[in-house]
Amino acid sequence: MQRENVEFDSEGARLRGWFYLPSAQTGPHPAIVMAHGFSAVKEQYLDRYAEVFAAAGFAVLVYDHRNFGASEGLPRQEVDPVSQKRGYRDAISYVQTRADVDASRIGIWGSSFSGGHVLEVAAIDRRVKCVVSQVPQISGYQSALRRTRADQVPALLARFEADRAQRFAGGAPAMLPATSADPAEPCAMAGADSHAFFAATAAFAPAWRNEVTLRSAERSRENEPGVYIARISPTPLLMIVADADTLTATDLCLRAYEDALQPKQLEMIAGGHFTPYVEHFDTASQRAAQWFARHLRPVE
């Protein structure tokens, strides 16, 4: 397979990533657009997924979200779910301009925070012909209820208000660790498994930084992609759900899956939120590749 560095415009910022072409096949190819989750960059295992998809005969675009990694955008390290979803749609527009891509056969893949993004994008953008959503965030509000103890919520909201006032006055944004080894330290993604996953990628993903703006956490609480799930049909949906996920809670994912209409398929894997990237990578990637192959097959 071939891989090239590419970039495209998304509302005034250049988003950068990799474009993969399958080997020994004539195009135009069906294509898959994919990006990572909350604070993550493409080097954190997305190249492995792209290689599996390219080996299955797909062109693949992998890119960093606005404000992260190789992509442009300010403030740095700010997660904005609205602009990230628009980035997916601009990425689709980019791949459709390429002569080596069949513009009528576009799939999207997302995981964790972007697993929620692809649910919404697939529901509102009919250029998407197939979607894979892996361990997705379904509801920012419901997730926040589980991550922050009720007695700590007033202090958190007060921090959001103070940060908003500081920004309005021209000050720098407040920052928050993305993960922490200290369970008592406030961070965006609490839990030992979160910290272990990101710490283990440091050697091959130096662009990742263990911080996000505080407003990223506020915007995550406002993000509700699950409300779109019944609107995805007739676009085929595969959901990959971990049975012991505490970051994007298993029960929220399963309840959302029940609300989705056919055609749909559920793949359960054992373990926590990050197991699809490592321990169960083969299962997660192969099931996704099979779903894309089933629904993005060449037009006879």
Query: Distance (Å, rounded) from C-alpha 162 to C-alpha 153?
Result: 14
50: pLDDT strictly greater than 90: yes
Domain tally, the chain? 1
- Lowest mean pLDDT segment, chosen from 97-106, 184-193, 210-219: 184-193
Q: What is the pLDDT of residue 24?
A: 67
Q: What is the pLDDT of residue 146?
A: 84
Domain coverage including residue 48: 2-145+222-295
Token pair recorded at residue 277: 């990237």
Q: What is the pLDDT of residue 151?
A: 86
Structural domain contains residue 155: no
Query: Could you tell me how many helices (H) and strands (E) the chain has, helices first?
Result: 9, 10
CA pseudo-torsion sign 5, 8, 14, 19: negative
Q: What is the pLDDT of residue 31?
A: 98
Structural domain contains residue 186: no
Tens digit of each residue's pLDDT (9 = 90 or more) over 123-148: 999 999 999 999 999 999 999 888 77
List Cβ neighbours of 258 (8 Å cut-off, separation of 6 or more).
none
Specify the higher pLDDT residue, 233 or 297.
233
Structural domain contains residue 179: no
299: pLDDT strictly greater than 60: no
Q: What is the pLDDT of residue 147?
A: 79
Token pair recorded at residue 282: 């083969």
237: pLDDT strictly greater than 90: yes
Structural domain contains residue 133: yes
Structural domain contains residue 75: yes
Q: How confident is the model at residue 300 (pLDDT cuts 50, 70, 90)?
A: very low
CA pseudo-torsion sign 102, 64, 288, 1: positive
Q: What is the pLDDT of residue 148?
A: 79
Determine the average pLDDT of the residues in 9-22: 97
Q: Is the pTM of this model over 0.75?
A: yes
Q: What is the CATH number of the domain that holds 104?
A: 3.40.50.1820
Output the average pLDDT for the chain.
96
Determine the average pLDDT of the residues in 198-223: 97
pLDDT > 90: what percent of the chain? 91
Determine the average pLDDT of the residues in 9-35: 94
Q: What is the pLDDT of residue 26?
A: 81
Structural domain contains residue 194: no
Q: What is the pLDDT of residue 152?
A: 84
Query: Distance (Å, rounded) from C-alpha 64 to C-alpha 34?
Result: 9
Q: How confident is the model at residue 167 (pLDDT cuts 50, 70, 90)?
A: very high
